Structure 1
Amino acid sequence: MGKRKINWTVWFSYLVVIGFIGYILVMYGLNNPRSTGIVSGKLENPNFHYNTWKILFFIHITTGSIALLLGPFQLLKASRKKIKTHRIIGKIYVSSIFLSVPAGIYLAFYATGGIGSTIGFLILDAAWFITTFLGLKRIHERNIQSHQEWMLRSYAITLVFVTFRLLVPIFMFILHLGFAISFPLAVIVGIMINLSLVERYLKRKLKGTKNTGSTILKVDVK
């Protein structure tokens, strides 16, 4: 029963991720980014370098999309049983994030919504880097359980790019908060929602482990 639930969650994640990537391709791949609302406003800024922004933007969304696609597969038990494949995909996932974060930091300074959005996206980039780095560090320390926990948090932050897009229309068109509030609020609330769901899952998993008398999995490095 638990296995079915995990697989259903993974495949649902894929459905959401593919839908999101399709949206990005239509909005920014098939259409000219200049014609989109979030870009047209930036062009009024004399310090805005469109060509540099466009290159880093496409690096950001391409590497972010790779991380979005690879994450669910890494969460499957079948993936963890294939150690070599798991490691290769894990390296691609981590590398994609480490490439995406610097581009995201640059983009944050031109984010729609002003200084609030800049701060929100910088927090997001910092959380993305830290959770992924700690996940990588833990596997080098052979602490498998902690590695899995931090990579879950890392993917939760990766999914904020989807959650954020779902929250912005709610804040803008239902609550009528405007760009300056909606964008940073959507980022922060997205982080809080995604991480709280992961922490709730990990807490329930730890409780179940204690109830069954299982021990915490940690590889001895001595």
Structure 2
Amino acid sequence: MSASVLSPAVRRRWWWFLWGLLALSAIGIAAYFVPPYLTGGSAVPIDRAIVGYYASLVVHALPAGLTLVIGPWQFVPKLRARFPRLHRVLGRVYLISVVAASMAAAYAAAVTESGFALQVAFYILIVAWLYTAVQAYRTIRRREIALHRIWMVRNYALTFAAVTLRVYLLVSMQVFPSVPFPELYTASAWAGVLGNVVVAEYFIVQRTLRPLARRRAAVAETPQPVG
């Protein structure tokens, strides 16, 4: 059944279900992976012999965790309408955190010994993350609200790759126990980035572009008064 034939009440329930799933998983991943870095540890094994590698992950962890936690709340219409000032402040914190996390991730990706394919995946993610953040900032500065929301959907889809990467990795480790960990991690990174981009574009088309096209078509078909 397509979304267009669902009642408004059913669509709202689905929206809140999916939003809750997204928010809980984002907060859960941030709560599990970020705190160990702040106490000198890590949730996964890290090669500390690589100069600056661990430090770059620590610098990356806190702002990246902030983006994961802040993002879902920025998409709730009632919160935006009721607390516009808070929405703007959190938006600035979010975008600054994207830049900070990207800079640290760029160094970590450069020095990692996990292979060229993984480095390419991470650099595509970093460039796309920064580009969508810049576009989101530029559009809101020009008061282009609809475009701003589209770019923020794209940006948070890339942010959420931190979650989907780990989900794919955990599943693949159970399904393919004989495959070496570096290969599973690389495949999960690519799947996390590309899969999230596809989902984000589908969401944008279904929730923003298609309704806009229908409204424009309805206006064009409406008889105009003569003289």
Contact 2:38 2:58 in 1 (8 A): no
Which of 10, 25, 29 aligns to 1:16? It is 25
Q: Give the structure-1-normalised TM-score.
A: 0.82
Runs of 4+ in structure 1 over 4 Å off: 25-31, 212-215
1:178-217 to 2 correspondences below 5 Å = 178-205=180-207, 206-213=209-216
Q: Which residue of structure 2 aligns with residue 99 of structure 1? A: 100
Q: Distance in 2 between matches of 1:163 and 1:70?
A: 17
Q: Which residue of structure 1 aligns with residue 4 of structure 2? A: none
1:31-50 to 2 correspondences below 5 Å = 32-33=41-42, 36-37=44-45, 39-40=46-47, 43=49, 48-49=50-51
Contact 1:164 1:187 in 2 (8 A): yes
Aligned-residue sequence identity (percent) comes to 22
Residues 23 and 123 of structure 1, relative CA distance in 2, 3 Å threshold: same
Structure 2 counterpart SS, 1:142: coil
Q: Distance in 1 between matches of 2:66 and 2:188?
A: 22
Deviations 1:177-206 (A, max 9, x none): 424432232122111111111111111122
Q: Distance in 2 between matches of 1:30 and 1:19?
A: 18
* Letter paired with 1:193: G
Q: Which structure has the greater CA radius of gyration?
A: 2
Q: Which residue of structure 2 aligns with residue 127 of structure 1? A: 128
Deviations 1:57-94 (A, max 9, x none): 12211101100111000000023213222111100000
Structure 2 counterpart SS, 1:139: helix
- Bigger mean CA offset, 98-107 vs 6-15: 6-15
CA RMSD of aligned residues (A): 2.3
In structure 2, runs of 5+ residues without a counterpart are: 1-8, 220-227
| 1:128 shift after superposition | 0.9
Structure 2 counterpart SS, 1:113: coil
- Alignment size in residue pairs: 206
1:1-222 to 2 correspondences below 5 Å = 1=9, 2-25=11-34, 28=37, 32-33=41-42, 36-37=44-45, 39-40=46-47, 43=49, 48-49=50-51, 52-81=52-81, 82-111=83-112, 113-175=114-176, 176-205=178-207, 206-213=209-216
In structure 1, runs of 5+ residues without a counterpart are: 216-222
Q: Distance in 1 between matches of 2:39 and 2:166?
A: 19
Q: Distance in 2 between matches of 1:145 and 1:25?
A: 32
Residues 26 and 139 of structure 1, relative CA distance in 2, 3 Å threshold: closer
Deviations 1:118-152 (A, max 9, x none): 22111111111111111111112221111100100
* Letter paired with 2:79: S
